[in-house]
Amino acid sequence: MQENAIETRALRKVYKAPPQKRGRRAPSPARTGGAPILHGKDVVALDALDLTVPQGEFFGLLGPNGAGKTTTIGILTTRVIATAGEASVAGVSVQREPSRVRSRIGVVPQRPNADRSLTVVENLVFHASYFGVPRDVATKRADELLEKFSLTEKRDAKVEALSGGQQQRLMIARALSHDPRVLFLDEPTVGLDPQARLALWDILRDLHRQGRTIIMTTHYMEEADQLCERLAIIDQGKLLALDTPAKLKAQAPGETVIEVTFDAPVDGIVPAVQAIDGVSKAEARGAMLRVFSERRGETIPLLIAAGEERGLAVKDIHLDRPSLETLFISLTGRKLS
Amino acid sequence: MSEPNVSTARIFLALLRRDITVARRELVFFLIRTTIQPLLFVVIFGFLLPKMGIVGRNYTTLMLPGIVAISLAMSGMMAVMLPMIVDFGQTKEIEDRLLAPIPNQVVAIEKIVNGTIQGIIAAIFVLPVARLIMGPINALTLTNVGPLLVVAILGGAAFAAMGLLLGTAFPPQQVGMMLSVIVAPMMMFGCAYYPWRGLDAIPAMKWAVLVNPLVYVAEGMRAAITPATPHMPLLAIASALLLINVIFIFLGLKTFMKRAVS
């Protein structure tokens, strides 16, 4: 029977504001996955999320920091308890059988958290042993994984001796050490240099080719575009769009986003700008004027002139071609990062 | 993509094996860290002061079980508390174990078992060293194996569970405060450096110290290794330690789970 790798129904997570006792702190951004959405004092990190991910898919959760990506991964990996709704992973309910879910998943955390009291190879062997993998099998598999991820020469080194990219590769190797069905990666390339990032992309593509289901969060548009078969764009705990990167890009407004930053707030300029030929939408954000236009070459001088009429001088001009980024901006009014 | 039917006991042993592997590697460092303070006490109060004639020679008989008790309790507690503070506060290293396919509480229970073992190892190390520094101790006997085991296991577990509670209930920045306000007075008023019966002279104090878990470990050690000296009845000691275990394990698991899942 072909069950879905992930299914969520009306998934919701609210972080309760703790009673203001002395010595108690409000939940830190780290604990809420950075979610800043405040309703009174409670934080709604995730609001009615419905997702279905078939087996074998490379699925991406794209959104800015605080969108609810980490909370979603947290619920699916049994580390966060949903306030309402249902979620299942590899056919098992995360609410009812968290231990069984854990036996079927591998998790690569946002920041490497290798066991620093152990060597590199021990990290893999012990992790597999927490899943009941016999020691000889675990050791054999560990050596294969180290080979695959170019870590063999660091086999018996302490974790501290690894570079950031090597630590991240070790985290992926560890997540695979018990041969899970679904692999979760939370912002796996944050903090990596471009070369290490590309190397990691190759590893992930390879894992996907072998038929592994991969769920990845990212706030890098290019990463999502390059790797994922389907993408969920989420912001403020809500699903905004869900499709293949190609179809999502086709949904992006067919216009260029022009951002002109002036030396003072641009309130009141919007009606005049909207009257400019070719402009479909304009919005003011402090000193920044954002315009969606089909004719960028002709629009820019008119925008500058509109500012000058109000005594505003241009400080910066930025253009974004139609992309996931401009789709995101048009959906949320904000940038990804 | 196998999913073997793995027993919780087997995973528990894998977790314990990890902690023992790490502890064995850091054994010397661990012993120095946890026993230097009680051993310095032994040098002053069990060697120097008796030599100077400031303290009576038989004081060492009252003090030795207390020193063993402190080593057992503090080592057991620290073996759980310090990793909890560091793992949950900063490095998140414990997360790879929280992903094991067992209830997260099992991870906490394993920590308590490991703390108990480390506490007992520290006590086994301190006893002969302290005896060497102090010189002969008349009432000392190591043949009460039954009581000794009961006190060592229940006492070690009580403090390991307390380490779980203290290590997960406080944010890292309050740890220094907690050590001064909770742990330091507990050591001083724990009847380790004087027998409980000695407090007959100060009745209010005699009853007040009964809230201190260390009292039962220290008195238990007296009952086990110097039974000829005055001490609480063993049954009372065992019952109190059992109750303390139940309370601290219950509270410790609660605060641990609050940190483990959100």
Inform me whether the C-beta atom of residue B9 falls under 8 Å from chain A C-beta atoms: no
Give the pLDDT band (50/70/90) at residue A256. Answer: confident
Task: Name residues 59-88 of chain A within 8 A of B (Cβ).
Answer: 74, 77-81
**Residue A161 DSSP code:** G
Distances (CA, A) of A242 to A8, A70, B262: 14, 18, 27
> Is residue B123 situated within a structural domain?
yes
**Contacts of B20-27 spanning 24+ positions with Cβ under 8 A:** B20/B114, B20/B117, B21/A118, B21/A122, B21/A126, B22/A117, B22/A118, B23/B79, B23/B114, B23/B118, B25/A117, B26/A117
Choose the mutation target among A130, A207, A213, A214 for the interface with B, i.e. most B CBs under 10 Å: A130
Instruction: Name every chain A residue with its beta carbon within 8 A of the beta carbon of B100.
Output: 102, 130-131
A79-92 pLDDT per residue, tens: 999 999 999 999 99
Residue in chain A nearest B17 by alpha carbon: A126
> Is residue B256 situated within a structural domain?
yes
Q: What is the mean pLDDT of residues B125-137?
A: 92
For residue A32, pLDDT beyond 50: no
The beta-carbon neighbor of B101 closest among A15, A100, A123 is: A100
Inform me whether the C-beta atom of residue B258 falls under 8 Å from chain A C-beta atoms: no
> Is residue B1 situated within a structural domain?
no
Comparing A42-51, A266-275, B29-38, the range with the smallest average pLDDT is A266-275
Give the pLDDT band (50/70/90) at residue B3. Answer: low
User: Among residues of chain B, what percentage have pLDDT more than 70?
Assistant: 98
Q: How far, in Å, CA of A194 to CA of A11, rounded?
A: 35
For residue B201, pLDDT beyond 80: yes
> Is residue B209 situated within a structural domain?
yes
Inform me whether the C-beta atom of residue A122 falls under 8 Å from chain B C-beta atoms: yes
Choose the mutation target among A117, A183, A185 for the interface with B, i.e. most B CBs under 10 Å: A117
pTM assigned to the model: 0.85
Q: How far, in Å, CA of A253 to CA of A282, rounded?
A: 13
Inform me whether the C-beta atom of residue B4 falls under 8 Å from chain A C-beta atoms: yes
Task: Name residues 163-192 of chain A within 8 A of B (Cβ).
Answer: 174, 179-181
Interface contact B6-A79, CB threshold 8 A? no
What pLDDT shows up at residue A67? 86
Give the pLDDT band (50/70/90) at residue B176. Answer: confident
Comparing A312-321, B149-158, B185-194, the range with the smallest average pLDDT is A312-321
> Is residue B92 situated within a structural domain?
yes
Instruction: Name every chain B residue with its beta carbon within 8 A of the beta carbon of A100.
Output: 101
Inform me whether the C-beta atom of residue B97 falls under 8 Å from chain A C-beta atoms: yes
A89-124 pLDDT per residue, tens: 999 999 999 999 999 999 999 889 999 999 999 999
DSSP string, chain B: -------HHHHHHHHHHHHHHHHHHTHHHHHHHHHHHHHHHIIIIIIIHHHHTSS-TTHHHHHHHHHHHHHHHHHHHHHHHHHHHHIIIII-TTHHHHTSSS-HHHHHHHHHHHHHHHHHHHHHHHHHHHHHHH---TT-----HHHHHHHHHHHHHHHHHHHHHHHHHS-GGGHHHHIIIIIHHHHHTSSSSS-GGGGGGSHHHHHHGGG-HHHHHHHHHHHHH-TTS----HHHHHHHHHHHHHHHHHHHHHHHHHHH--
Interface contact A174-B96, CB threshold 8 A? yes
Pair B231, B207: CB distance under 8 Å: no
Count of structural domains, chain B: 1
Beta pairing class for A6-15 and A288-293: unpaired
Average pLDDT, chain A: 86
Comparing A39-53, B30-44, B189-203, the range with the smallest average pLDDT is A39-53
Pair A110, A104: CB distance under 8 Å: no
Q: How far, in Å, CA of A159 to CA of B167, rounded?
A: 24
Write out the residue range of the structural domain in which residue B192 sits: 8-261
> Is residue B167 situated within a structural domain?
yes
> Is residue B34 situated within a structural domain?
yes
Q: How far, in Å, CA of A224 to CA of A336, rounded?
A: 12
Pair A58, A229: CB distance under 8 Å: yes
> Is residue B3 situated within a structural domain?
no
